[in-house]
Chains A and B, each alone.
Chain A
Amino acid sequence: MTAVETVLSGLTSGIASGGIAVVDLTNTLSPDFPVIVLPAEFGQCEPFRMETVSRYDGDGPAWYWNNISMNEHTGTHFDAPAHWITGKDVPNGTVDRLPPADFIHPAVVIDISAQAAADEDFILTRAFLEAWEASHGPIPPRHWILLRTDWYKRVGTLAYLNLKEDGAHSPGPDAEAMRFLVHERACIGLGVETVGTDAGQAAHFEEPLPAHSVLHGNGRYGLQCLTNLDQLPVRGAVIVATPLKIQGGSGSPLRVIALKPGL
């Protein structure tokens, strides 16, 4: 057996034995899962919809299947660089052309759940990240940055989108934090539990919507509406995120799993 074959064999046997645990980071795709709400002058994101074609009935006596429809950014989903205007000229920036090797990367989990609980508009800053590195060690390159906010616990309630009269309220990064992660820590992308990589009020930032703008302008990715980030270690988890191969697609709903050391 070659060294690579040994690694792959160890991976599968580790999963089979439970030595490697598989964590589902995906929310269930359902008609009532909330989608991002934009100001009324913009086009809106379509939620997930499902119509039964047949269910062991006259329309299909022995089979059950549904027609489904949704936006590319509905449910737990992947943002490709072409999603944002800053990434419109990034080569191979649509989901059908992404290098498949980018679908598997290690992750660093940054826990801001206490801060988000205290302040639902908590802003992740460069200073916060530097302080985090001082206590947890540097963020290695080519990693997903996963922001644990415990926001997934709000799924199923109005507090998930947290829409108020002045818009949505949820935590997210500012522009300096994003530039730090992208340019100085060479991250693969940013993964969040909220409905967008940007904070709920990020449209009003001095540099608006910095996560989308900086990530995609530099060919990085976004993962949104993740769940169970509280089950991941700070380091050592590997994310498997394979968006659908939609021709010219800007993103895609997908199943995201994490591999982590198990028992």
Chain B
Amino acid sequence: MTLRPRPEKRDPLQRKVERHVPAGLRSRAMHAMSARAAQGRFVLQQCVECSAVTYPPRDICPVCWGELAWRDQVQGATLLAETTVRVTTDLYFRAHMPWRMGTIALDAGPVALAHLSRNLTVGGRADVRLMIDKGGNAALFAMAAGEEPDMSDKQWREFVVPVRDRTILVTDGRGAVGQAVVAALQAAGAASVVVGLPAPAQPPAALAGLTGVRIVPLDLTDTRSVSECLTDIAGPLDIVVNTARFVRRGDGLIDQKHALDVTVLGLLRLTQGCAPMLQGRPSGAFVDIVSSAALAPDAGFPAFSAAQAAHLSLLQSFRHQMRGSGVRVMTLFTGPVDDEDHQSVPMPKVAPSRIAKGVVDALEGGREQLCVGDAAVDAMARWSDDPALYIREKNL
């Protein structure tokens, strides 16, 4: 195995840098905006009476006192003015000075304060994204119209999780999803991809000879194995991608127990082990691939669905436990995957390579939640709209 060189070098005698996150106190209306931003939506409040669009989030329309509703909006804007903040009492921003901000006139109507990309100049047209900051709250980020996100822009990097030059653990390399994820992360420039393989599986041919990819024993059902694997990762660990799952039809007790052991207790073993490692990193992240069956059970796969639901619950708790440290916990929802676990499921199924691309997109786009594939998008839309109906119609 060849390791890619890590450009980052640290003086071992230097005191450890303590990391902070942006202040988390927000109004309830702002949390509603953050919840939508986490789903990748660009939303602003719009009055149901007079149609005025408003920002920042409020409880009532500032024009007519009418009721406000969240609506998806056009993302264009013009930069009106900019400033560079050089002094602040805020611990997080103090560590990132100087910081450029500006006022933008959103095409949707309001004028807003936004974080700016390096390439955006006053008077210029902007594309605005609704991002999640390190503290877990929504923030507007404006970049020059048509500009591709620039991973070398230090302000942009604060809102995303760069993959290049990072050390990443992929927990299970046996299946098609795990192998596709490893290949995608490797192609995206990860310095080292450590791939877990539960005994007695043989190292998969698909991973042979990939630069920077190392296979290690890892079985999420074994506490000692998890701890030994994490100890075995040389140097810092930036990102964990959990690809371990146990998919079986039916609800046999033995299968249910194993599904819970891999998916639920396994997640606990993993998060308890890796959280301290991720918390020490500038852009630590934990990505998990979750089935849409976590939202509403598939009666053909009841044991799997139950394990996924419990898994999603733990993952959400883990996200909130990590808020104060800036570690991002990202969820990729998928429908049935086109792999050996879903041979009995009719098309459409999502390709493992598409899930792998989703992992990189979520990290580098700073997405807290991403639905990969039509089935997952459709499931999330139906579940968000009417959960009770969705559970019924899913199992008709």
Using CB atoms and an 8 Å cutoff, list the residues of chain A in contact with chain B. Answer: 31-32, 34, 37, 43-44, 46-47, 49-52, 158, 161, 163
Contact = CB atoms under 8 A, between A and B. Distances in A.
Given A31-B222, A34-B200, A49-B222, 8 more contacts: A31-B219, A32-B222, A34-B199, A43-B252, A46-B258, A158-B199, A158-B200, A161-B200
Interface residues of B, number: 13
Contacts of B224: 31-32, 50
Chain A, interface SS category: loop
Contacts of B199: 32, 34, 158
B202 A32 contact: no
Contacts of B219: 31
Contacts of B258: 44, 46
B221 interface: yes
Contacts of B254: 43-44
Contact of B223 (A34, A46, A51): A51
A31 B224 CA distance: 8
B261 to A, nearest CB: 8
A158 B200 CA distance: 7
25 contacts: A31-B219, A31-B222, A31-B224, A31-B225, A32-B217, A32-B225, A34-B199, A34-B200, A43-B252, A43-B254, A44-B254, A44-B258, A46-B258, A47-B221, A47-B222, A49-B221, A49-B222, A49-B223, A50-B224, A52-B223, A158-B199, A158-B200, A158-B202, A161-B200, A163-B200
Scoring B219, B222, B254, B258 by chain A CB atoms within 10 A of each residue's CB, the highest score goes to B222
A170 B254 CA distance: 28
A161 B223 CA distance: 22
Contacts of A50: 223-224
B236 to A, nearest CB: 26
Scoring A31, A37, A44 by chain B CB atoms within 10 A of each residue's CB, the highest score goes to A31
Interface of B: 199-200, 202, 217, 219, 221-225, 252, 254, 258
B378 to A, nearest CB: 31
B387 to A, nearest CB: 34
Query: Top 3 nearest A-B pairs by Cβ distance?
Result: A31-B222, A43-B254, A161-B200
A30 B202 CA distance: 20
Nearest to A35: B200
A234 to B, nearest CB: 33
Contacts of A43: 252, 254
Contacts of A32: 199, 217, 222, 224-225
A151 B86 CA distance: 70
A52 B224 CA distance: 10
Nearest to B257: A46
Scoring B200, B224, B258 by chain A CB atoms within 10 A of each residue's CB, the highest score goes to B200
Nearest to A48: B222
A49 B254 CA distance: 15
Contacts of A44: 254, 258
B221 A37 contact: no
B393 to A, nearest CB: 32
Contacts of B202: 158, 163
B95 to A, nearest CB: 35
A52 B272 CA distance: 14
Contacts of B221: 47, 49
Nearest to B222: A31
Contacts of B200: 34, 37, 158, 161, 163
B368 to A, nearest CB: 31
A46 B217 CA distance: 17
B216 to A, nearest CB: 13
A195 to B, nearest CB: 10
Contacts of B223: 31, 49-52
Nearest to B225: A31
Contacts of B222: 31-32, 47, 49
Contacts of B252: 43
A68 to B, nearest CB: 12
A48 to B, nearest CB: 9
A53 to B, nearest CB: 12
A194 to B, nearest CB: 14
A52 B222 CA distance: 12
A31 B222 CA distance: 7
Nearest to B221: A49
A34 B258 CA distance: 17
Contacts of A52: 223
Contacts of A47: 221-222
Contacts of A163: 200, 202
B329 to A, nearest CB: 24
Nearest to B265: A51
Contacts of B217: 32
Contacts of A158: 199-200, 202
A155 to B, nearest CB: 12
A47 B217 CA distance: 15
Scoring B202, B219, B224, B258 by chain A CB atoms within 10 A of each residue's CB, the highest score goes to B224
